[in-house]
Amino acid sequence: MSPAKTTPKPAELAAEVRVPLDAAIADLQDGTRTWAALTIDQRARLLDRVRAAVVASADEWADAAALSKGLEPGHPLRGEEWMSGPYAALGGLDGYISSLKALARGTSPLEGVRISEAHGGRVRIEAFPASGMDRVLLSGFTGELWLEPGVTAAQARSEAGLGHLRATENTGVGLVLGAGNITSIPFLDVLYELIAENRVSILKVNPTQDAVLPVFERALAPLIELGLLRIVQGGGDVGAYLAQHPSIAHVHITGSALTFDAIVWGAGAEAERRRAADDPKLAVPITAELGGVSPIIVVPGTWTDADLKYQAEHVVTMRLHNSGHNCIAGQVVVLSSDWPQRDAFIAALETALHAAPERPVWYPRSEEKLDAAAAGYPDARWNADRTRAIVDLTAGGDATALQTTEYFSPVLGVVQVPGTGQEFLDNAVAYANDNLVGTLGANVLIDPATEALLGAGFERAIADLRYGGIAINTWTGVVFATPILSWGAFPGGTLQDVQSGLGVVHNTLLIDRVERSILRGPFRPFPRAVGDVVRSLSLSKGTVLPKPPWFVDAKTGASVGEGLTRWHMTHSVPRLVATLTQAMRS
């Protein structure tokens, strides 16, 4: 006979804090009826209003986010806040509007989208580029969603729409516990709850983003006015109170596995008792995106000096974007012990890490993470006033801490496994799957000649990677910023062992049973990419970008990041031409 389940009491809060929260949830309960009464066409037009509000708020959004992270006017990395804020938000809105308009016409969001077969008989939805302008702005990049084994193309088409296939269904009020690092995360999470899950939300903003809260209120004003959203502030006590509120039907969190476990199981002896009894503290369903330790698998080939330099800058970008405060920051570089260019690549990494623009390490408790890395790896090589480290374990050493600690700060590890070609790739995939904590995202760098030589073996190895987002010759952060793709952990997490989370977000085509998203980019920039196009007779290997604007060392990254966002805001052709001209000088 199993132990009786227990129902925890909501956290105690002072009346002046508790009463406004209760009132917000009561407003949202009315909002559920408002949302259920809207037609799909009306919902699409409501998102058009949200889009206009984002456009009106974009300058303030990017500026507030940059200043909150210590990036003063003129800082070369301020473009990050344009692209990871309003740029990503507009991409999500445009995708959802397109899908809702298709559903309102009585067609599937997959109408006109190419569907093919991926490794293992999986359905592959070739989602990106979705427009001609995508092909210009991100030339050489292609994105696809792989569905879970057993899902057919017919099922994918008929089930596309998710909650909007049951648009009049009332799914209650959800709680969104917002992320503290990237400003578009809470915005896009609220949209996914509303559009994909048919659920209104109360959003608790992470205290690190309090400075951006007024922007959220303006950008999301059309939803707030209809009672479809309420935004509140507070610490862990407020989050705990809301998660246990009897009128909350669902919880979504972006954060750490520790926070997830505290919500689901409690802390200390209570958590141990509840886990043993399989008696979660949380009484409602929960979805989550929780990060992890992300690999950067470098497949050995014959690289030029320019290749070594460019891809080293690429890896450093994966680590240093947002000062390393990303759940998807690349942390462990996996090299071949048999690659003749291994040492040259490590040297290029150190050079690129040292040369990248300096910036504050701003996220709370980051100093503790850096101190832990210094204590655990006294031979680590530091620069930028001891705020960046390379932990080179290719000569040996205990990799346990590097493999199991998400440093969430500028700590980059380097390890090695044996082999070349397919042997190395299989070894590297096994290493990532079996040794690194988390299943959110993996990065693979491979030159076109080596990829062609591996052929079907390469696709099989990619299928073997147990990660929800995979970036080939690009960074998984770009998967996040391309909301037509899904974002979330590889399927298989549970309440007892959550890994990198449960469920997905973004996914603007509203596809059910997504297993992973894969984004493929060009190995070389323009003009060197021209040779790859000629050799492969495939434009997919080429690009017009000399350096993507999200690279931390892109000379014009700030102006190009802002300019690309303004293109999405206004579709001004002269402004776009000026932005592309800037991009050619990056």
CB contact at 8 A, 546 and 586: yes
pLDDT of residue 2: 40
Instruction: Specify the residue for token string 């951006």.
Output: 212
Helix residue spans in 465-504 (DSSP H): 476-480
Name the β-bridge partners of 115: 125
Pairing between β-strand 286-289 and β-strand 294-298 as defined by DSSP bridges: unpaired
Token couple for 99 = 């899908």
Distance CA(466)–CA(395), nearest Å, equals 27
pLDDT of residue 543: 81
Instruction: Specify the residue for token string 């669902």.
Output: 250
Contacts of 424 (CB under 8 A, 6+ apart): 299, 300, 336, 338, 339, 417, 418
Token couple for 303 = 């690289």
pLDDT of residue 537: 59
Instruction: Specify the residue for token string 């995708």.
Output: 95
pLDDT of residue 11: 62
Measured in Å, how far apart are the chain's first and last C-alpha atoms? Answer: 67
| DSSP category for residue 263 | H
Query: What is the helix (H) or strand (E) element at residue 97, kind and residue range?
Result: helix 88-104
Distance CA(55)–CA(374), nearest Å, equals 43
Query: What is the helix (H) or strand (E) element at residue 195, kind and residue range?
Result: helix 184-195
Distance CA(379)–CA(394), nearest Å, equals 12
pLDDT tens digits for the chain (586 residues)?
344 455 555 567 999 999 999 999 999 999 999 999 999 999 999 999 999 999 999 999 999 999 999 999 999 999 999 999 999 999 999 999 999 999 999 999 999 999 999 999 999 999 999 998 899 889 999 999 999 999 999 999 999 999 999 888 889 999 999 999 999 999 999 999 999 999 999 999 999 999 999 999 999 999 999 999 999 999 999 999 999 999 999 999 999 999 999 999 999 999 999 999 999 999 999 999 999 999 999 999 999 999 999 999 999 999 999 999 999 999 999 999 999 999 999 999 999 999 999 999 999 999 999 999 999 999 999 999 999 999 999 999 999 999 999 999 999 999 999 999 999 999 999 999 999 999 999 999 999 999 999 999 999 999 999 999 999 999 999 999 999 999 999 999 999 999 999 999 999 999 999 999 999 999 999 888 787 777 765 666 678 788 999 999 999 999 999 999 999 999 999 988 999 888 888 7
Distance CA(479)–CA(488), nearest Å, equals 10
CB contact at 8 A, 338 and 419: yes
* Domains 16-120+142-284 and 294-357+364-492+510-521 in one fold: no
CB contact at 8 A, 391 and 294: no
pLDDT of residue 528: 84
- How crowded is residue 63: how many other Cβ atoms within 10 Å of its Cβ? 17
pLDDT of residue 324: 97
Which CATH number does 16-120+142-284 carry?
3.40.605.10
Helix axes 342-355, 305-320, angle to 10 degrees: 50
Distance CA(82)–CA(59), nearest Å, equals 8
pTM given for the model: 0.96
Pairing between β-strand 248-254 and β-strand 286-289 as defined by DSSP bridges: parallel
Domain ranges of the chain: 16-120+142-284, 294-357+364-492+510-521
pLDDT, tens digit, 9 for 90 and up, residues 425-468: 999 999 999 999 999 999 999 999 999 999 999 999 999 999 99
Short-list 229, 177, 241, CA closest to 206: 177
Contacts of 278 (CB under 8 A, 6+ apart): 2, 496
pLDDT of residue 3: 44
| DSSP category for residue 438 | -
Which CATH number does 294-357+364-492+510-521 carry?
3.40.309.10
Distance CA(173)–CA(20), nearest Å, equals 16
Token couple for 497 = 């062992």
**Residue type at 299 in one-letter notation:** V
CB contact at 8 A, 327 and 462: no
